[in-house]
Structure 1
């Protein structure tokens, strides 16, 4: 496969909040409070802009950061007691942002929001959509008595049912430990690639990013779905579930920097202020968003070594 082309023009991004955790049927609830905490952490980063630029020490480079590079579009329509209405509201928010010519950044909320993010992107293109799914879990559960059909355990499964989502061009990253045998069967039948956290640790983020960029080359649009529990709880204690052996904060940031230029929408989920420690996880999430915007915003902002 050849790599996806870098964007030819500069992009603008819109931040959307989805303060909903009504589908967090396992683990800890509390991610409804995440959008506000991440927005607060963003202020620490944004105050470093000067003259329409920001200096990235990671690559010793100045990057454009005009005032309109990232705007806050407020919260999508959420209904605390109505999962279906909330999923529809989130999909509409993504779809409307794309229609306005901006790249959506959807802040959850629990990981059921992967599905409406994929739906909003899929409904905005006549082509195919790939999902790059960073998560400790596979989220391929079909249905269960306790979780139903839409939960934080089934977002990727529901996204796979969208008619133009291409699972063969998609990839799951940073999964670990144990999951349902039925999810393995589905993944194998669908041809969905999985790169577990152990492989990322062994091979490094640069090689993994190159693999992912080649994997998604067949798709017309790409969703980056980032569940914060892909990061080890030592680095991200404020999550809906704790799975040891995950990515370091550096690995997570490096992957986002490298993938950002090739991605058409981001959904970031499962940050949980009720289990966080001194806002460490909300702060990491804010930096993930900032690097996504800075390194995905213009053709010359891609990290050194990114494929073209």
Structure 2
């Protein structure tokens, strides 16, 4: 169980769902261990958040446990979307823990956002990767089958075709060097990408520079700091109807898992504080 997520399901405002899918990882496998590692490395976090003056254990969070994964990815995504949809129908906010990034497609299907926001090193706009249209490298494209637009924060690599797709009107890319000024504009009110929209926020831990989170499937240098990722989560959370943290694996000493767990908690603290 995620520490502090002990509220009964029928009383929960937030429901954590583990999704340990690890079927299409293209470099370093191990995302199947992500949900468990995030829970483990969250055990050291204090319950109290001084910024919002709240205890995590008082915020009505329930841990559903893991939805066992299998290798038929479209079938698993379909099943997982049903589990997440049940959370939505219970008027709770789903918090997915991956697992590879493909699981975000289930969260998007279930919540039906207008805007998909992804912190990610990669554009994930491919039609297919290695012949697989359900690869983790295709998840933003799948999200756009439901959402009207996407913002990819921290993207710094992609194929030529992906960059051409990203240049279309329904996709905004915020490269790492622009994230600081972009966040200042959002927080200061000069830019308003989230307001009056139903937002789904996905945190691919590889959006961080590998110095902060080496335990992920496809590391990409020149990425975001953990503080910049926290800033994006805090800015988007008040507008969100769903959240996930994905692509954590077991190939570091817990840095990626700790970051994923901390960002999940930042999301809950911020969303609860804003929606009281």
TM-score (norm: length of structure 2): 0.88
Q: Which residue of 2 aligns with 1:22?
A: 23
Query: Separation in 1 of the partners of 2:189 and 2:161?
Result: 26
4+ runs deviating over 4 angstroms: 208-213
Q: C-alpha displacement at 1:92, in angstroms?
A: 1.3
Q: Which residue of 1 aligns with 2:205?
A: 228
Which protein is bigger by CA-based radius of gyration?
1
Q: C-alpha displacement at 1:292, in angstroms?
A: 0.7
- Going from structure 1 to structure 2, the CA distance change for 1:21 and 1:250 (only over 3 Å counts) comes to same
Q: C-alpha displacement at 1:290, in angstroms?
A: 0.9
Q: Which residue of 2 aligns with 1:193?
A: 172
- Stretches of structure 2 that go unaligned for 5 or more consecutive residues are 1-11
Q: Which residue of 2 aligns with 1:6?
A: none
Query: Separation in 1 of the partners of 2:119 and 2:190?
Result: 11
1:158-177 matches, within 5 Å, as 158-162=142-146, 165-167=147-149, 170-176=150-156
Q: Which residue of 2 aligns with 1:91?
A: 81
- Going from structure 1 to structure 2, the CA distance change for 1:216 and 1:258 (only over 3 Å counts) comes to closer
Which SS does the other structure have where 1:250 is aligned?
Answer: helix
Q: Which residue of 1 aligns with 2:32?
A: 32
1:1-308 matches, within 5 Å, as 12-24=13-25, 26-45=26-45, 48-49=46-47, 54-56=48-50, 59=51, 61-67=52-58, 69-79=60-70, 81-122=71-112, 129-144=114-129, 146-162=130-146, 165-167=147-149, 170-176=150-156, 178-201=157-180, 203=181, 205-208=183-186, 214-217=192-195, 219=197, 221-273=198-250, 275-276=251-252, 278-299=253-274
Alignment RMSD, CA only? 2.2
Query: Separation in 2 of the partners of 1:189 and 1:181?
Result: 13
- Stretches of structure 1 that go unaligned for 5 or more consecutive residues are 1-10, 123-127, 302-308
- Going from structure 1 to structure 2, the CA distance change for 1:211 and 1:132 (only over 3 Å counts) comes to farther
